[in-house]
């Protein structure tokens, strides 16, 4: 069974731009969660999508948004990028949601200049 | 509302045991444990749910004290492959609904 895949793996953007990251879950998984990991703040939960609906949301500003498609693939968008958005963005898929076993993808390393 | 993990770092020799603790000021609905090696994604180890249900690997054990909002991960007879950063993830409820908050991590190094 293929694991969670994320594209692109690396990305460099400048302040003010927007970016879209993609996550393909394990086949059969309907939940996709997104996390931001930085050396200073550690791992932080962004939001969770289940069957195309945002079900849970962390404490991030509205510049961070996401969506999920009918095939469970998910995208995360960050608008008006700030230097502090530089981070490793991880997505995880699971059968039932954030209370179930989560399988993480390799992450997208975003650098904002 | 980030849980506290202790110790921050620990160094072991192969075969030694370790305990990693995670405590929260918030009521916990579940606790998850993950291990992350440098440059890799976190890997699931264990989930502990309210009511005592556990899901995880056979060689990993953990406890969850719901009243004290604490969890401990027990690593016995450590192997070199146990090295990495261990995170606890805590399920809480806040103004946004169901939220998931990770601890800062405990760095474990196992030496031969």
Question: Which residues does residue A66 pair with via DSSP β-bridges, in sequence order?
Answer: A76
pLDDT digits over A42-81, tens only? 899 999 999 999 998 888 999 999 999 999 999 999 999 9
pLDDT digits over A3-21, tens only? 999 999 999 999 999 999 9
Inter-chain residue contact B43 with A104, CB threshold 8 Å: yes
Smallest Cβ–Cβ distance between B98 and the set A42, A98, A101 belongs to A98
A residues 25..84 contacting B (CB < 8 A): 33, 35, 42-45, 48, 55-59
Percent of chain B predicted with pLDDT > 90? 64
* pLDDT class of B57 with cuts at 50, 70, 90: low
Cβ–Cβ contact A100 with B under 8 A: yes
CA distance A104 to A88: 12
CA dihedral A32, A33, A39, A40 (to 10 degrees): 160
Inter-chain residue contact A42 with B87, CB threshold 8 Å: yes
Token digits of residue B15: 């075969």
| Strand duo A10-13 + A108-112: pairing | parallel
């Amino acid at each position: 069974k293929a694991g969670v895949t994320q594209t692109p793996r690396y990305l460099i953007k400048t302040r003010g731009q927007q970016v879209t990251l993609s996550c393909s879950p394990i086949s059969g998984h309907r939940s996709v969660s997104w996390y931001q990991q930085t050396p200073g703040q550690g791992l932080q939960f962004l939001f969770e999508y289940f069957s195309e609906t945002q079900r849970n949301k962390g404490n991030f500003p509205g510049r961070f948004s996401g969506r999920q498609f009918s095939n469970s693939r998910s995208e995360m968008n960050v608008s008006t990028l700030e230097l502090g958005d530089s981070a490793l963005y991880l997505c995880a898929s699971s059968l039932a949601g954030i209370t179930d076993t989560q399988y993480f993808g390799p992450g997208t390393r975003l650098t904002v200049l | 509302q980030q849980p506290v993990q202790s110790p921050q770092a620990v160094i072991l020799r192969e075969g030694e045991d370790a305990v990693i603790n995670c405590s929260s000021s918030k009521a916990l609905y579940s606790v998850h444990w993950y291990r992350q090696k440098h440059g890799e994604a976190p890997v699931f180890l264990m989930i502990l749910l309210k009511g005592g249900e556990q899901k995880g690997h056979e060689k990993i054990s953990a406890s969850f004290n719901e009243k004290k909002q604490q969890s401990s991960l027990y690593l016995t007879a450590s192997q070199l492959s146990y090295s990495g950063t261990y995170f606890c993830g805590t399920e809480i409820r806040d103004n946004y609904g169901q939220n998931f908050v990770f601890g800062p991590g405990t760095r474990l190094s196992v030496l031969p």
